[in-house]
Chains A and B, each alone.
Chain A
Amino acid sequence: MAIGPCILRMEGITKRFPGVKALDEVRFDLCAGEIHALAGENGAGKSTLMKILSGEYQADGGTIHLKDNPVEIANPQTAQTLGIAIINQELALIPYLSVAENIFLGREPVKQVPRFVDWQKLNQDAAEYLQRLKLDFGPQTLVEDLSIAQQQMVEVAKALSLDAQILIMDEPTSALTEKESEILFDLMAELKARGIAVVYISHRMEEIQRLADRVTVFRDGRYVATSEIADITIEGIIQQMVGRKLQAHTPVTAIQATETALKLVDLTVHRHGIEALNLSLGKGEVLGIAGLVGAGRSELARSIFGVDPIDSGDIFVDGRKVRIQSPKDAIAAGIGLVPENRKEQGLLLKMAVGENITINILKRISRFLFLNKRKAMDIAQTYIEKLKVKTPGAMEKTINLSGGNQQKIVIAKWLTMHPQVMILDEPTRGIDIGAKNEIYALIRELAGSGMGILIISSELPEILRLCNRIAVMSQRKITAILSREDATQERIMTYATGG
């Protein structure tokens, strides 16, 4: 695993957006055959730098050298011809086109005469990439029919197909489960062996430690340091990221749940194949739901929340039977849901941060129909501070926030509500480690105040760290409920695979 010569040098890169200086004279370099991790808190400027490298943005200042030649990367095509490919943080596939067409978008193979798309070649080539990534859907599947994890893997295949010398991966694993993550890691090792340079952005420190050769840390748009991975510990990276030592983990308090916050009795949802599912969640309890992709966890959440109302069975909140036909009913019954897909279900991207945070509680802050806008902004401001959301202000358009900060808004939106039962579906996706700790503390605090909390997460360490009990789902059934003491990664995986 010899690391080759330096092939990329970015120096003095500066980028301003209205109201923010996203990058302030940062530098970054990359060698052939290395995996170079880029770390930093949410909003530190990681994605912005990568977008400059991949031609989506233009820097306001600074230079880029590729193999010692200065280059101007004026647009994505230039980046492609220079051998730079990127897997963006935000999924952006074309929903009504097939997987194969998405992979080779804009580069579809054509036959000689007539110059029609060579479907056979297209599908075959795509199938090869899908196989390499051990994906079990065909190249002709429509992207709109895929789950997020599957879509993320299509993005990987897309970048892979470019055969680039430099491959940028901006938080590829945040939407993946262990299984796909492992596939991805194997792939990265293979690329590395072939001398390809990989930029790897992730908030999962274990991954950085395990995969990377070097790590560069940004803080607040500034360059902090670059280190050989062998020379630095996880704590060290975190310290560089946040500029101080992090607090110790909040302990999980043992609870003696006497009252139930949420009880599901014989829940049946035909369209999701959920049959006679039973589950109960105590007040003050944090219950984790683990499982593989497609286990039906998100569907269960959607059903409880009334997005896809249940066909039969009963839902009890705080001992009262409730009828939930829509999210509105669910909210009225005291249930909140942090949805899995922030872009589609969680956020009003073109609306202001403050508007997003308060959209759930407008009733509470209005008189008759008239809004108390000041109060709304005050509440928004409180949560912006509480969750350390990096934004120029509550009036900023949400779409301009970094991925992790957007996720914080989704969480804030539900914190304002203070429901009796809170369901969190992959709540910390893309959130930096410091903020994660704070969110964990918040969750514990909410539980402490008597809220019942249901956490769906594909990050097992997260579940193990946070939950009083862990339910494991496989094939739309609950296969086990483990107490905190009994739960280990191995046992969970056994039940998750249906064993």
Chain B
Amino acid sequence: MRGLIQRFSGLFILLALCLFLSFSTEYFLTQRNLVNIVLQTSILAIVALGVGMTMLTAGIDLSVGSVAAFCGAIAAGLIVESQLGIWLAIPVAVVAGISLGLLNGLLIVYGSLPPFIATLATMAIGRGLTLVYTDGRPITVPDPAFVFIGNGEVLGVPLPVIIMAALLLTAYLFLAHTRTGRNLYAIGGNEKTAHLAGISVARGKLLVYMISAFAAATAGIILTARLWSAQPTTGMGLELEAIAAAVLGGTSLFGGRGSAWGIMVGVFIIGVVSNGLNLLEISSYYQQVIKGFVFIMAVILDMYARKK
């Protein structure tokens, strides 16, 4: 039992939160609300998985919000203005996003920039490109096939949730069971040792920033589909929320520590808390006050649960 609590401490905190909410509001423990929570958190989850991977290598990715906006805009623009079908538009948008991730990676690996600064620069550049591309205006996408990505359901499960689940599973398998994934931990744990062991640190880093951008691009496209329109201001502040989710889920900002499931738990703690605060009708100002408090408490509880 003790070991169980230690291993799944984050999960227990999440369950405790849910338990508390199911007693304090009748709306919480309804099937509809639970699906709602998962749907709401799917975008954050996808982004956090990507950002979490950069954190594993002792990096960080601040550009995800901008990349999401950029890719959403490109996809929307290609569909609406260039009349490209979604099967062409989406891959092009994703590739555009990944190239921003590649830019991050190149600046970090070959430009020797600290990840914080490199991705901060890309964050600004990505937002600027989005504004230029959209001319600062939202692009509405009426295409029903595209809209389906964000709002459709398959066997009663919302499509964004399915995409999230698929990415989560992939991320888990990648991080826990592939050589490349495991080597990311080595890069974050001790870069020099990893290098001496013949692991290509440069390749690993390039990869994680591209994965992170891919995740952000996916999230941006889902978001655009969900809102039926690409917003040039979308995704502002997403990076901070994603990093917070990863850290809440036990990912270390100094690298080498974290897991896909942990990140998921962090994401759901954030999702459940904001849903719960809404259901409890807390005023938006006090929501912020309480959120700050709950995050810190969650980490503290987690640490005490883990203590041997």
Contacts and interface: CB of A to CB of B under 8 A. Distances in A.
A–B in direct contact per CB < 8 Å: yes
A96 interface: yes
Nearest to A56: B196
B189 A96 contact: yes
Contacts of B186: 94, 97, 101, 105-106
Contacts, number: 62
9 contacts: A76-B195, A93-B193, A94-B186, A94-B256, A96-B185, A101-B182, A106-B198, A107-B197, A117-B177
Contacts of A76: 195-198
Nearest to B177: A116
Contact of B198 (A77, A88, A115): A77
A272 to B, nearest CB: 13
Contact of B182 (A92, A97, A115): A97
A133 B256 CA distance: 28
Contact of B178 (A101, A107, A115): A115
Interface string A376-411: 000000000000000000000000000000000000
The residue among A88, A117, A119 with the most chain B CB atoms within 10 A of its own CB is A117
Nearest to A78: B198
Contacts of B185: 94, 96-97
B177 to A, nearest CB: 4
B190 interface: yes
B257 A106 contact: no
The residue among A77, A95, A106, A116 with the most chain B CB atoms within 10 A of its own CB is A106
Contacts of B193: 92-94, 105
B177 A92 contact: no
A371 interface: no
Nearest to B187: A94
Given A76-B196, A94-B186, A110 B256 contact: no
A110 B182 CA distance: 12
B173 A116 contact: yes
The residue among B173, B192, B194, B197 with the most chain A CB atoms within 10 A of its own CB is B197
A80 interface: yes
B256 A96 contact: yes
Interface in B176-206: 177-179, 182-183, 185-186, 189-190, 192-199
Given A96-B257, A116-B173, 15 more contacts: A92-B190, A92-B196, A94-B190, A94-B193, A94-B194, A95-B256, A97-B182, A97-B185, A101-B182, A105-B183, A105-B186, A105-B193, A106-B186, A106-B198, A117-B177
A119 B186 CA distance: 17
B189 A97 contact: yes
A77 B199 CA distance: 9
A339 to B, nearest CB: 21
Nearest to B199: A106
Interface in A57-115: 76-77, 80, 88, 92-97, 101, 105-108, 110, 115
A110 B183 CA distance: 13
A92 B191 CA distance: 10
Contacts of B189: 94-97
A171 B177 CA distance: 35
A110 B196 CA distance: 20
Contact of B192 (A92, A105, A119): A92
Contacts of A95: 189-190, 256
Interface string B147-183: 0000000000000000000000000010001110011
A76 B195 CA distance: 8
B190 A117 contact: no
Contact of A93 (B173, B178, B190): B190
A108 B179 contact: yes
A88 B193 CA distance: 10
A106 B194 contact: yes
Given A94-B185, A95-B256, A96-B257, A105 B177 contact: no
Contact of B179 (A56, A77, A88, A110): A110
Nearest to A101: B182
B189 to A, nearest CB: 4
A239 to B, nearest CB: 35
Nearest to A111: B177
A108 B179 CA distance: 6
Contacts of B256: 94-96
A88 B256 CA distance: 21
Given A95-B256, A96-B189, A80 B182 contact: no
Contacts of A117: 177-179, 182
Contacts of B194: 94, 105-106
A326 B199 CA distance: 40
A397 to B, nearest CB: 15
The residue among B193, B196, B197, B198 with the most chain A CB atoms within 10 A of its own CB is B196
A101 B176 CA distance: 12
Contacts of A77: 198
A96 B177 CA distance: 15
A105 B204 CA distance: 14
A255 to B, nearest CB: 42
A80 B198 contact: yes
A116 B198 CA distance: 19
Contact of B199 (A88, A93, A96, A105): A105
A465 B178 CA distance: 53
A76 B193 CA distance: 11
Nearest to B56: A96
Given A95-B189, A116-B173, A116-B177, A108 B182 contact: yes
Nearest to B186: A94
A76 to B, nearest CB: 5
Interface in B109-164: none
B190 A107 contact: no
A95 B197 CA distance: 15
Contacts of B196: 56, 76, 88, 92
A96 B186 CA distance: 8
A138 to B, nearest CB: 15
Contacts of A93: 190, 193
Contacts of B257: 96
The residue among B173, B193, B194 with the most chain A CB atoms within 10 A of its own CB is B193
A108 B197 CA distance: 11
A433 B131 CA distance: 69
